[in-house]
Amino acid sequence: MIKKLLIANRGEIVCRINRTCQTMGIATATVHSVADRSSVHVRTVGESIEIGAAPSTESYLNIGAILAAAKTVGADAIHPGIGFLSEDPIFAEAVSRAGLLFIGPSPDVLRRFGDKWAAKREARLVGVPIIGGSEGSSDDPAEIERLIRVELKLPVVLKAAAGGGGRGVRIIRELDGLTENIQSAMREARTSFGRADLIVEEFIAAARHIEVQIAGDGNGKAIHLFERECSLQRRFQKVVEEAPSVGLDEMLRQKIIRDAVRLAESVRYATLGTVEFLVADGAHHFLECNPRLQVEHTVTEEVTGIDLVELQLRIAMDGRLPIEQEAVTMTGHAIQLRVYAEDPAAGFAPSTGTLSSVQFPAGSRVETGVETGSIISPYYDAMIAKLISRGAHREEAIERSLMALRQTVIAGVETNIPFLLRLLETEPVKAGTADNRYIDREIDTLIQPIQPTHEDVALAAALLWADQGGSSRLGLWSTSGPLAWWAYQDGAKPEGPPALSLKTSDNQILSVRFGHVQNKLLDLSVDGVAVKIQIMLAEGGGRFVVAVGQRVIVAQFDRRDDVITLHVPSGRHVLQYVPFLKLDVGSQLIEGSLLAPMMGTILKVGVQVGDRVRKADVLVVEESMKMEMALVAPLDGRVSFVGCQVGDVVERNQLLIEIQPEIGAMS
């Protein structure tokens, strides 16, 4: 029996593992970086050791610091969680040498499965079909480039050999820009996994992504806990996972499951793992094996009723499977949605900042490591939470997922919730026919924000008024405070009722005018359309019960400086308050400015003052949340200012490059 377990990770997975340990009577401790000192996972576990600075290479990937933490807290076992060191054989060996129990496969199995090429070799040895490509991995950019140019046929895909989660992946469709793509993938691989080596594979354009949850005793016996489908991906990053798979031919499904179990038994697999396949044209191809607990383990738990963390711990403690294959059954359908701090309208750029409001739906399973006041930093993965919904059948699971999304409130950063809502409502997703390239093909449609109605805009204005104290404290004709501009423009009292302007996400500016206001009953007009709003109840924390015309709804309101976030039944709307004095300021003032889209670290600066550039030239490469973003010139011109250098940590909207247009000079 484990007496005390050190959970060597961060965020929601620490909270998840801790929950099972509490039910099993296992004491726990965890670790944290300087940036995570006051995080939810630290307070949830109740005992944590600081192991280094914010960058993961100095903390969560620091083997010596983690082993020292285990000794300090008196742990006799270490659970690596998900990501970081969970697939590192060197870490597993170090844990064993320290006399501690490692919760995961043996170092030998990690070497055979933790590396993508090694895993493909194991699959090929037992006759499981694999995807063609390079014979091994390489950290030599020249060798990778030679292989692609000389030996392989385009398109191909670069993958981090130690990778996962879509990190270090690039599709190569043409040879132009090949060198930079290789270098970019290697940088991202090194940042995410501590290794830069890549493999090259043939690119299968449209496939289903099917994975099998397996468990083994380490002595040659393995079972499966059925399969999951993870076809809904964006740039190889899973977005939605579900169990079981959808519409898969039963004979093919059984063959995939048998191959997964056969592969696990061939290497004497121990504890939990996931064997992943691509399915195209009626055939399956081994993709990789993840020798650890998966992010999407939750949907398997929902349909089987088995606590996978408990299963993992019991196998590690007892050296045997506590359950036989015949006892594993499946009922219903489960869907998991990954909620990320990212801005779909800005190319899914990570969104950093303080969460000013976090509310999840009651009755839904939510796995998270954040709360109101938590900080989304640029150092770690952008996932905020996982929303898991279960139904008797898939249609019910989708409806419950949509309801959970609509009832989730995240304010302070941008999120992918509007994108997820649109995705789940598309016909291919509802029908279960979407493949792993569906999102990338339809991305322009899927990222279109839900535009607010005139009633939504009026409600935002009314709640802004209420947030400032309403007529009882501020008064519509006040000469001071954030809303003073309602009453005074250029020092003169305006004619007619007070007004404000709000800008929508598509840059439409709507004028809101306040008419009669009495006892929190407001008469407003939005571009001439009359709306009557009554603020019935202010519940605190930005939550209001309001009557909009004849409808009574619950609205969540959040304001940060001049940005207003409104959550209503129709969706989430972000509006920007525009003072009158700013309405006449044209975009020319910032036309040539390249701003940092997110907080992050500068990896590359490709220009200096005086250089001439063309629109769309890559000027700066920034990294945030282990993701690289190439920042390009907004126009033709000459660089007049460079405000960053390699290694700088920049804030969101910080001026990086300024370009002076040169009319006719670039022709």
**Shared domain check, 397 and 315:** no
The CB density around residue 320, as the number of other CB atoms within 10 Å, is 11
Summarize pLDDT for 542-572 with one digit per residue, the tens. Answer: 889 999 988 999 999 988 777 888 988 878 8
Summarize pLDDT for 40-98 with one digit per residue, the tens. Answer: 999 999 999 999 999 999 999 999 999 999 999 999 999 999 989 999 999 999 999 99
* Pair of tokens at residue 377: 């930093």
Q: Among 287, 252, 281, 273, which residue's Cα sits nearest to residue 123?
A: 287
**277 close to 95: Cβ distance less than 8 angstroms:** no
666 lies in some domain = no
* Placement of tokens 């005992």 in the chain: 47
Please report which residue ranges of 280-378 form alpha helices under DSSP H. 297-304, 308-318
Helix (H, G, I), strand (E, B) or coil at 438: helix
**Shared domain check, 321 and 347:** no
pLDDT above 90: residue 506 = no
Residue at a domain's end among 173, 202, 231: 202
3-state helix, strand, coil in the chain (%, to 5): 30, 35, 40
Summarize pLDDT for 266-313 with one digit per residue, the tens. Answer: 999 999 999 999 999 999 999 999 999 999 999 999 999 999 999 999
**What Cα–Cα distance (Å) separates residue 189 from each residue in 208, 292, 628?**
25, 19, 11
Round to whole Å and give the CA distance between 642 and 655. Answer: 8
CATH of the domain at 649: 2.40.50.100
**Shared domain check, 225 and 197:** no
Summarize pLDDT for 165-219 with one digit per residue, the tens. Answer: 678 889 999 999 999 999 999 998 887 777 899 999 999 988 999 999 999 999 9
Number of separate domains in the chain = 6
CATH of the domain at 49: 3.40.50.20
Averaged pLDDT for residues 430-451: 92
The CB density around residue 541, as the number of other CB atoms within 10 Å, is 15
Round to whole Å and give the CA distance between 299 and 246. Answer: 14
**What Cα–Cα distance (Å) separates residue 290 from each residue in 212, 451, 643?**
10, 40, 42
Beta bridge partners of 524: 514, 531
Straight-line distance from the first to the last Cα atom of the chain, in angstroms, rounded to the nearest whole number: 74
**Shared domain check, 120 and 216:** yes
Round to whole Å and give the CA distance between 286 and 113. Answer: 12
The CB density around residue 135, as the number of other CB atoms within 10 Å, is 12
189 lies in some domain = yes
Check residue 441 and give its pLDDT: 95
Q: Torsion angle of alpha carbons 24, 27, 30, 36, nearest 10°?
A: 90
**What Cα–Cα distance (Å) separates residue 170 from each residue in 159, 605, 656?**
7, 21, 26
**Shared domain check, 552 and 535:** yes
Summarize pLDDT for 308-352 with one digit per residue, the tens. Answer: 999 999 999 999 999 999 999 999 999 999 999 998 888 888 899
pLDDT above 80: residue 130 = yes
* Placement of tokens 């390079």 in the chain: 134
The CB density around residue 378, as the number of other CB atoms within 10 Å, is 24
* Verdict on whether the full-model pTM lies above 0.85: no
599 is in which domain, residue-wise? 587-660
* Pair of tokens at residue 76: 């006799």
Q: If you count them, how many residues does the chain have? A: 667
Residue type, 246: V
265 lies in some domain = yes
DSSP 471-534: HHHT-TT-SSSTTGGGT-BTTBPPSSS-EEEEE-TTS-EEEEEEEEEETTEEEEEETTEEEEEE
**Shared domain check, 327 and 245:** yes
* Placement of tokens 């039944």 in the chain: 569
**Shared domain check, 466 and 444:** no
CATH of the domain at 144: 3.30.1490.20
Residues with catalytic function: 292
665 lies in some domain = no
**380 close to 11: Cβ distance less than 8 angstroms:** yes
**Shared domain check, 492 and 388:** no
CATH of the domain at 359: 3.30.470.20
Summarize pLDDT for 236-263 with one digit per residue, the tens. Answer: 899 999 999 998 999 999 999 999 999 9
DSSP element (H, E) containing 145? helix 141-146
Residue at a domain's end among 430, 448, 466: 448
**91 close to 105: Cβ distance less than 8 angstroms:** no
pLDDT above 60: residue 444 = yes
Better pLDDT: 596 or 432: 432
Handedness of CA 142, 143, 148, 151 (dihedral sign): positive
**Shared domain check, 443 and 320:** no
316 lies in some domain = yes
**Shared domain check, 558 and 468:** yes
Check residue 493 and give its pLDDT: 44
Q: Torsion angle of alpha carbons 36, 41, 45, 47, nearest 10°?
A: 0
HSE-up (13 A, CA, CB side) for residue 87: 28
667 lies in some domain = no
**41 close to 10: Cβ distance less than 8 angstroms:** yes
**Shared domain check, 52 and 11:** yes
**361 close to 403: Cβ distance less than 8 angstroms:** yes
**Shared domain check, 269 and 126:** yes
Residue at a domain's end among 423, 448, 473: 448
